[in-house]
Each structure stands twice: as structure tokens, then as C-alpha cells.
Amino acid sequence: EISGNGTWWAVHTFDYFAVYEVNASYIGLDDVIITNATINIAEVPTNITLENETVELFAEDSVGTGAALTPAVAGDLTFTSSNESVAKVVDGKIIAVGEGVANITVSFAGSEGYLPALNRTITVTVNRVVTHMVVGNITTYVGLDVNFAGNVTSDDARPFNGTVNFTLPDGTVVPVKVSNGQGAVPWTVPDNYHGNYSVNAAFAGNTRYLPSKAAAGITVN
């Protein structure tokens, strides 16, 4: 098509990404100067951005990946963990599985019209929560029933729930289910017990929590 001021243009749809040479000719005038052109039909470059390159979590916690692809319409990101027993990505969230360090590789393989992006890495450190245990001292008398009470707290926002093993003065080991940090085991003081004894409590730890232990004294009069 030709406009009124002598400018002309042509419309063409290119089927492939490539560099094309465009040649023009004008029939009718010998003194028309035509400049040919090169057209580069290229795929759109993409880029992955991260909110944080390092993330620290407690085991069993989760957080969004904070990864984004620009342009956003280019396609989906792929997340690959170097150690899924430590951390993995599910539905756009980093899930802390167990204690350790894992590298999450964020990649985009490209799609129609879009180039692959340079891989990015999120280093995830998963820690277990520190626990603190206290067992109260007791003064009592022969033949009485007593409760050895333990209190377990942790360095996170969750109430502590787990199993604590109490070793009684007679050597008996009693597992106690601790709920909301509280647990106790009853014991009847034998008639032949006089003097000072000890009670030990131990939490073996689990995927989320580190182990802890405590000791208390019992005085039998």
C-alpha cells in the first residue's frame, strides 16, 4: 500500500523465528532509490527473579518460593530440589521436610515465542527446633502417691506435643504423652525408700524437635 506522501508498506506474517532479508522493487520509475532491510524475528527473552536467595525454616514449616518469571505470560517455572528429604516445592511453596541444606533450582525451559531463562538457585536451610525440659523436685513420705510432672517448651510458636520417657527411682521407664508441653507420671513411694533419689526425663527428639532431658530430685522422709 502507498500513502499520499509516498510512504509505502507491506504486511507479512512470518512463520518461523529467523533473520529475514526484505527486498523491495518499484516498477515504473528508474530514479527511485530503494533500500532493502533485515528483519530479525526473535523469541522474547525471559528472566527469573527471586525474593530471597537463602531461606531458613524449621522442619515441617513452609513458605512461598518468592520466584517469578518475566514476562509473566511466558509459562510455568520448574523447581528441582537437590535433596527432597530436606526440602521440596509443592504447589508453589517450599516445604521443610528434615534437617539439613538443600538447593532448589528454579528453571524455565522456554515456550512458544519465549526463550529459556537462566537458572536461579534458592538455598534452603532446615533446622530442628530447640526444646527445653524441666521436672520439678519433690519432698514426700513413705507410702504416698506422687506425680513427677514435666514441662517441655520449644523455641517456636507451636505448643509442644511428644513422648517423654521418665526413669523413676526404682529404674522403671515410663513413656508419657506430653500435650501442650505438660505431662506427668504417678508413682507410689515404696516403704523401703528413705533418703534422696533422682528422676530422669528424656525426649528423644523427632523430625521437627531436637532432643532434651532433665533431672529432678525426690526426698523421701
pLDDT of the chain, 221 residues: tens digit per residue: 555 566 777 788 877 778 888 887 777 666 667 778 888 888 889 999 999 999 999 999 999 999 999 998 767 899 999 999 999 999 999 999 999 999 999 999 988 888 899 999 999 999 999 999 999 999 999 999 999 999 999 998 788 899 999 999 999 999 999 999 999 999 999 999 999 999 999 999 999 999 999 999 999 99
d(C-alpha 170, C-alpha 188), whole Å:
11
Phi then psi for residue 74, to 5 deg, are -70, -30
- Cβ pair 182, 205 in contact under 8 A: no
Helix (H, G, I), strand (E, B) or coil at 118: coil
How many CB atoms lie under 10 A from the CB of residue 3?
A: 8
